[in-house]
Amino acid sequence: MLVFYVFAALAEFIRALIVPGNNESLDAARARGARRGRPLAMTDEQVGHARDRILDEARSNCDPLHLVRLFGIHPRTAITHLYAAHPGRFRPDVIAP
């Protein structure tokens, strides 16, 4: 049992040494302008253009399956754009939160 306490104390000590250095390097990377995580697939301009195209298509065609096949989007995304393109035409989804 004493061995586990010794290992736990050693792990806490090592963590206390590692974390500040890690935070300093992350702060330095942020100062250089580096981004963490996955790179964005599209710019804000491209996202706006795609959203406009989807809404235009949703206004002309009320079939969510058509939007899914044409743009390769998730069915829930297609339905959300249909609601936005035709306000008042569809009943609100009482099941989804």
Instruction: Give 10's pLDDT tier (boundaries 50, 70, 90).
Output: very high
Is residue 76 a part of any domain in this protein?
yes
Q: Do the domain assignments include residue 69? A: yes
Contacts of 54 (CB under 8 A, 6+ apart): 67, 71, 73, 78, 81
Helices and strands of the chain, counted as H and E runs: 4, 0
Residue 35 lies in a domain: no
Residue 78 CB contacts under 8 Å (≥ 6 apart), including other chains: 54, 58, 64, 65, 67, 68, 71
The arithmetic mean of pLDDT across residues 59-76, rounded, is: 88
Residue with the larger pLDDT of the pair 19 and 85: 19
Q: Whole domain around residue 54: which residue ranges?
A: 47-85
pTM of the model: 0.53
| Number of domains into which the chain is organized | 1
The mean per-residue pLDDT over the stretch 1-20 comes to 94
81 burial level (CB within 10 Å; 0-12, 13-18, 19+): buried
